[in-house]
Amino acid sequence: MAAALEILTADPTAGADPGDIDAYIAGGGYGAVRKALKSMSQAELIEEINASGIKGRGGAGFSTGMKWNLCADRYPRYLCANADESEPGSFKDRLLLETKPHQIVEGMIITCYALGINLGYIYIRGEFFQIIDQMEAALEDARKHGFLGADILDTGFDLELYVHPGAGAYICGEETGLIESLEGNRPYPRLKPPYFPAAIGLWGQPTIVNNVETMAQIATIVDMGAEAYKEIGSEEDTTGPRLFGLCGHVKNPGIYEYDSGVTLRELIYDAAGGIRDDNRLKGVIPGGISAPILTPEEIDTPMGFGALGKLGSMGGTGGIIVMDETTSMVDALLNASSFAAHESCGQCTPCREGVPWMNDILRRIQNGKGREEDLDLLLDICKQIHGHTVCVFGQAPGVWPVRTILVKYWPEFRACIERKELVVLPVDESYLRPDQYEHIPPLPGNFRLKAEEADAAG
Amino acid sequence: MATITIDDRQYTVEEGRNLIDAAADLGIDIPHFCYHPGLAPDGNCRMCLTEMEIRPGQFGIVTSCTIRIKDGMNFRFNSPAVLDNRKGIMEFLLINHPLDCPWCDQAGECKLQDHSFDHGRGHSRFVETKRVPPKKDLGPHITLYTTRCILCQRCTRFCDEITGTSELGVVQMGSKSEIATFEGVPLDNKMSANVADICPVGALVTKDFLYKPRIWHYEKVNTLCPGCATGCNTTLEVLHQKIYRTRPRHNEAVNGHWMCDEGRFCYHDWQDADRLQSPLKRVDGELRQVTWPDAMDAAVSGIRSVLDGEGDSAMGVVGSSMATNEENYLLSKLGKEAFGSSTTGLNRKPDGEAWTSKSGFRIAADKAPNSRGAGDMLGADSLDDILRGIGDGTIRGLYVLGGDIGQTLPPEVAEAFGKLDFLVVHDVRLSDLADLADVVFPGAIPFEKNGTMTNAQGRVQRLNPAFPQAGGAREDGAILGYVGQRMGIEMGGTDPAEILEEISGRVEGYGGLTYDLVGDQGVMKGGEEPSEAAGG
Ligand SMILES: Cc1cc2nc3c(=O)[nH]c(=O)nc-3n(C[C@H](O)[C@H](O)[C@H](O)COP(=O)(O)O)c2cc1C
Ligand code: SF4
Ligand code: SF4
Ligand code: SF4
Ligand code: FES
């Protein structure tokens, strides 16, 4: 069993209110800011983050060092810390926001210093209204202690950070949607190219959008040093500690901190205490609702970005949704699909029309009114959406859950259609094995089921 | 210039040009909905997706509407991936579409119909319930048939980018998205009706063109808006000698893709005006309907008696900024040659409001279309000399072109004209000007005219008739020609093309101009711009 970590989940304020800046400082807090600003040059800091091997924690697992290096050489530049956490099954940012507000502020200060940024925002999901207040207070305290404002720690570095309450839609978390929202517009994601935030972002200027956990980790990297940080996890799966949120049918739902080598089985059965009522596992979504589902046979995978990618799934947000034998996979997919249909921003045709259409079809199947041709139709609609949308939403969570839950749990969907009612098959009969995916038409673009990958390669 | 490859064939196109426009130049249609050449690309409909070589040998899907041509670009417009996507987009756009083509005014010029025909799948796989949002009254001119909207956002972008008034936006999310205005803030700006032109489907319609005859029945006439000195290029749609619709005609140098609402709908005032049915002659102090020969005799003998009694210069001519260059030219020629060197004047409309949109579209303060050209032809841009002449008694008779349905003479002008011994007027209705005249010839309205006008920038442009002169009216040029002939001078032809040729030899700034050169995009007078660019 991999050992649980206590880095991001450590309590530096030793039981005091997490927002208490004095307690935080007494526990070593703002040491990373002092170290970075006082003893490191901008270039050294960027190199340190590069060397740490950290991948961003927003979901895509993109190398943070690389993102920083891509930032266009134009000023002013801006920082947006992304705290819009709305992906179903994900709640790790919320924990950090509640327990480590100052560590997030530290990470933001260091990032801004490293990249020559003097103005940053933390975009917090609107529904987190208590957190928004707490974060405002944290920024005010940081300002009073001289960590924000003009000439921070007598280094000549000026920085202002502001909280921006989110506009109440999942799409506000997509980095260009977030930027539009910050500018006061509807959060319609922008076209990439040309609107890569690091090139043309907020107010048309180069902008770094990083997840809030990534921000907290930046402080950790500076604290520990890249050398030590790199020892945790692996480059391919991501270095550093990861926060995994377990929810659904486990005995002890919650956030667990491990390195990325921990397996899904360990997380479910050891960390979270196993399945409720000791039921059998039916399926598990390993990284937020968008992440393709894994069957009980696939849970010995390590939880790294690389390892899950090889399995045709993804690391995503680390929000793990566990479903036991009582779960109807038609219900589960309908739930995911309803979320996607509700949250599609509506800007582009394939997602606006295709995602709700699939939702209608799935609801019909759930109601026992599914037709023979519906499953192929669903796959065809997936194909028509995939790779044709403005932003990634159309695929994740638009297409991927449908594609993967439907393909893998095909027998259960077939049974519902044949018997004209909602049917929950016994676990072993409910899903296909990879060598049985063959009748499924492949998708264009970069995302394939594992069996298709093999096909494509062979 | 750049060399690009499309489906393995090489073409030379303008570097930096938008791919959809560049392809259109080559006669290749890239189907699209949200892109409009007058607006910034938005990339939302996804109909224009095509394959482009992203790395050597590797093709990827891109939005054509956001591609600017660079040398060496390589596209596949017809690969299976591209065709599949179009089919998919068509299906998506139609699942919630009412397909109420039988009573949709867009039918026949609808992008959704056209692209369905070319790229659709012919039958629907959608068996769910369509969403049916109610129609909305958006403003004084525009109604939204919400069910038909494909959310391409051309309309919202028009209000953001062109007028800068941003009345339109999207409310709700996902498939519930709808175009809407804010409560109490209607779509009411000086250019609002353009949104109906650019809406690719029948969602935005003008109240003016609602439940009208099918669009393929109309004859299309390219002409100019008579509403102000901007001289927007227009296309009229005409059926049974009636205009049903005016739409802006693209001219980058003048109006771009747009026109103002006042100009668009002004055709009603003209075609519904109470027109003169025959010439009028003053008999016993009252204007009476008379025949053409009778009126002509009266005019000629009236003019003669002024000239004979008071000398050549006693007969002045007043041109009209509603009349064409050719008509004003003939008038000035009549003045010079038949009346002896007569004083010339131009009766200008009092200025109205000038307005410039966010994007730079201008509505001129001068609410007449040809003040500049009339001034050039007459060598006068006001009534000052005429009024002075009347005041000091040297001018005793006038020959005046009227022709404005909105005409009102300022009191001092009316008073001065009232002192004349003899007044001949061309007009289109019984105006206060006609009311003072001894002889009135019923002339044509701008929608009945052939000729050229010169807009405020100095661009000479063609006017074409939508229908023949109403009732008893005649072309003003022909009337002038006949008067000249009766006065014993050689007026030459009255065909506007021939007159323009004569003008080109005699009026400064108009040298070298011909009808062909003016074409349908106009040309700057004085050659301020090469004739080539004017056509492009
Ligand atoms: C539909 C959609 C929603 C997203 N929501 C979030 C979110 O709530 N929080 C987040 O950090 N990233 C979210 N992302 C990812 C962001 O676009 C962006 O990649 C991320 O914030 C970058 O942070 P990182 O590099 O630190 O991982 C979302 C992406 C998509 C496509
Ligand atoms: S893919 Fe969906 S969420 Fe993304 S821009 Fe298009 S409609 Fe909006
Ligand atoms: S009303 Fe017309 S122009 Fe506006 S979004 Fe809908 S389809 Fe496009
Ligand atoms: S701007 Fe002037 S010329 Fe153009 S449409 Fe309006 S009134 Fe007519
Ligand atoms: S025309 Fe390119 S996406 Fe609509």
pLDDT tens-digit series, residues A393-412: 999 999 999 999 999 999 99
Domains of chain A: 21-231 (3.40.50.11540), 238-324 (3.10.20.600), 329-457 (1.20.1440.230)
CA distances from A186 to A346, A407, A413, B57 (A): 11, 35, 37, 38
* Residue ranges in chain B whose pLDDT is less than 70: 407, 528-536
- Render pLDDT for B247-257 as a digit per residue (tens, 0 to 9): 999 999 999 99
User: Is the four-CA dihedral B291, B292, B295, B298 of positive or negative sign?
Assistant: negative
Last residue of a domain, one of B65, B93, B121: B93
CA quadruple B293, B294, B295, B298: dihedral, nearest 10: 120
A-interface mutation test, from B48, B68, B91, most A Cβ less than 10 A away: B91
Three-class secondary structure of residue A73 per DSSP: coil
Type and span of the H or E element at A315:
none
Q: Indicate whether residue A102 lines ligand 1 (CB < 6 A).
A: no
Residue B7 lies in a domain: yes
User: Which phi and psi angles does A359 have, rounded to 5°?
Assistant: -60, -45
User: Is the four-CA dihedral A362, A368, A369, A374 of positive or negative sign?
Assistant: positive
- Render pLDDT for B473-515 as a digit per residue (tens, 0 to 9): 999 999 999 999 999 998 888 899 999 999 999 999 999 999 9
The boundaries of the domain holding residue B437 are 280-447+469-493
Q: What is the model's pLDDT at position A458?
A: 37
CB B404 within 8 A of CB B349: yes
C-alpha A293/C-alpha A316 separation (Å) is 12
CA quadruple B532, B32, B221, B408: dihedral, nearest 10: -90
Residue B298 lies in a domain: yes
Other C-beta atoms closer than 10 Å to the C-beta of A49 total 26
Cβ contacts of B305-313, under 8 Å, gap ≥ 24: B305/B421, B305/B422, B306/B396, B306/B397, B306/B421, B306/B422, B307/B339, B307/B340, B307/B397, B309/B396, B310/B396, B310/B397, B310/B421, B311/B340, B312/B339, B312/B340, B312/B341, B312/B342, B313/B340, B313/B341, B313/B342, B313/B343, B313/B394, B313/B395
Q: In Å, how far is A394's CA from the nearest CA of chain B?
A: 11
A-interface mutation test, from B175, B176, B178, B201, most A Cβ less than 10 A away: B175
Other C-beta atoms closer than 10 Å to the C-beta of B12 total 11
A186: closest chain B residue by CA: B170
User: How is residue A362 written in tokens?
Assistant: 């799935």
C-alpha A449/C-alpha A440 separation (Å) is 10
Residue B99 lies in a domain: no
Q: How far is CA A125 from the centre of its chain?
A: 14
Residue B405 lies in a domain: yes
Rounded to a whole number, what is the largest CA-CA distance in chain A?
74
Last residue of a domain, one of B44, B70, B93: B93
Residue B76 lies in a domain: yes
Cβ contacts of B524-532, under 8 Å, gap ≥ 24: B524/B457, B524/B458, B524/B459, B524/B460, B525/B376, B525/B454, B525/B458, B525/B459, B525/B460, B526/B458, B528/B458, B529/B253
User: Is the four-CA dihedral B102, B107, B110, B116 of positive or negative sign?
Assistant: positive
Measuring CA to CA, which residue among A237, A289, A296, A246 is closest to residue A267? A246
Q: Which atom of ligand 2 is nearest to the CA of A171?
A: 3
Question: Angle CA(B248)–CA(B253)–CA(B256) in degrees, nearest 5?
Answer: 35
User: Which phi and psi angles does B366 have, rounded to 5°?
Assistant: -75, 110
C-alpha B207/C-alpha B143 separation (Å) is 7
Among left, alpha and beta (phi > 0; psi -120 to 50; other), residue A19 is alpha
Report the residue among B18, B21, B35, B157 best suited for mutation to probe ligand 5: largest number of ligand atoms under 8 A from its CB: B35
Q: Which atom of ligand 5 is nearest to the CA of B44?
A: 3
Count of domains for chain B: 2
Q: What is the CATH classification number for the domain harbouring B40?
A: 3.10.20.740
- Which A residues 26-45 touch B at CB under 8 Å? none
User: How is residue B286 written in tokens?
Assistant: 């009252």
Tokens 């006949």 -> residue: B482
Q: Indicate whether residue A90 lines ligand 1 (CB < 6 A).
A: no
C-alpha B442/C-alpha B391 separation (Å) is 28
C-alpha A131/C-alpha A96 separation (Å) is 10
Q: Which residue among A349, A357, A384 places its CB closest to the CB of B128?
A: A357
Q: Which residue among B92, B127, B151 places its CB closest to the CB of A346?
A: B151
Q: Indicate whether residue B201 lines ligand 3 (CB < 6 A).
A: yes
C-alpha A178/C-alpha B350 separation (Å) is 52
C-alpha A438/C-alpha A405 separation (Å) is 15
Q: pTM (2 decimals)?
A: 0.95
**Which residues have CB under 8 Å from B205's CB, separation 6+?**
B105, B106, B142, B143, B145, B196, B199
Q: Do A388 and B151 touch (CB under 8 A)?
A: no
Closest CA to ligand 3's atom 6: B149
Three-class secondary structure of residue B50 per DSSP: strand
C-alpha B291/C-alpha B280 separation (Å) is 8
Residue B203 lies in a domain: no
Q: What is the model's pLDDT at position A457?
A: 41
B146 part of contact set with chain A, CB < 8 Å: no
CA quadruple B505, B507, B513, B514: dihedral, nearest 10: -70
CA quadruple A413, A247, A54, A11: dihedral, nearest 10: 180
Q: In Å, how far is B177's CA from the nearest CA of chain A?
A: 6
A210 part of contact set with chain B, CB < 8 Å: no
Q: What is the CATH classification number for the domain harbouring B300?
A: 3.40.50.740
Strand partners, B510: none
Q: What is the model's pLDDT at position B530?
A: 43
Q: Where are the alpha helices (DSSP H) in A145-186?
A: 175-182
The secondary structure of residue B282, as a DSSP letter, is E
Q: Do B46 and A348 touch (CB under 8 A)?
A: yes
User: Which phi and psi angles does B193 have, rounded to 5°?
Assistant: -70, -15
Q: Indicate whether residue B150 lines ligand 3 (CB < 6 A).
A: yes
Q: Do A346 and B91 touch (CB under 8 A)?
A: no
**Which residues have CB under 8 Å from B66's CB, separation 6+?**
A191, A193, A194, B41, B43
CB A78 within 8 A of CB A207: yes
Give helix A212-224 / helix A92-99 axis angle, nearest 10°: 60
In this predicted structure, the answer to whether residue A451 has a pLDDT above a threshold of 50 is no
C-alpha B158/C-alpha B258 separation (Å) is 10
Q: Do B128 and A345 touch (CB under 8 A)?
A: no
C-alpha A21/C-alpha A439 separation (Å) is 59
**Which residues have CB under 8 Å from B400's CB, separation 6+?**
B317, B318, B320, B347, B417, B423, B424, B425, B426, B433, B437
C-alpha B534/C-alpha B524 separation (Å) is 7
> How much distance in Å is there from the Cα of A136 to the middle of ligand 5?
41
Last residue of a domain, one of B69, B93, B117: B93
Residue B220 lies in a domain: no
Start-to-end C-alpha separation, chain B: 16
- Render pLDDT for A26-79 as a digit per residue (tens, 0 to 9): 999 999 999 999 999 999 999 999 999 999 999 999 999 999 999 999 999 999
B123 part of contact set with chain A, CB < 8 Å: no
CA distances from B306 to B419, B436, B440 (A): 13, 17, 17
User: Is the four-CA dihedral A10, A12, A15, A20 of positive or negative sign?
Assistant: negative
Type and span of the H or E element at A41:
none
B459 part of contact set with chain A, CB < 8 Å: no
Measuring CA to CA, which residue among A323, A327, A329, A293 is closest to residue A415? A329
C-alpha A132/C-alpha B265 separation (Å) is 53
Q: Do B177 and A346 touch (CB under 8 A)?
A: yes
CA quadruple B468, B469, B474, B477: dihedral, nearest 10: -70
Other C-beta atoms closer than 10 Å to the C-beta of A439 total 10
C-alpha B44/C-alpha A348 separation (Å) is 5
Residue B439 lies in a domain: yes
> Which chain A residues are closer than 8 Å to B150 by Cβ?
349
HEC assignment per residue over A239-276: ECCEEEEEEECECCCEEEEECCCCEHHHHHHHHCCCEH
CB B65 within 8 A of CB B165: no
Report the residue among B113, B155, B257 best suited for mutation to probe ligand 3: largest number of ligand atoms under 8 A from its CB: B155
Q: Do B173 and A348 touch (CB under 8 A)?
A: no
> How much distance in Å is there from the Cα of B258 to the middle of ligand 4?
9
Q: Where are the alpha helices (DSSP H) in B311-410?
A: 325-333, 371-378, 384-391
Q: Which residue among B129, B170, B175 places its CB closest to the CB of A353?
A: B175
A-interface mutation test, from B48, B127, B172, most A Cβ less than 10 A away: B127
Q: Which residue among A345, A361, A383 places its CB closest to the CB of B174?
A: A345
- Render pLDDT for B304-332 as a digit per residue (tens, 0 to 9): 999 999 888 899 999 999 999 999 999 99
- Render pLDDT for A256-266 as a digit per residue (tens, 0 to 9): 999 999 999 99
In this predicted structure, the answer to whether residue A452 has a pLDDT above a threshold of 70 is no
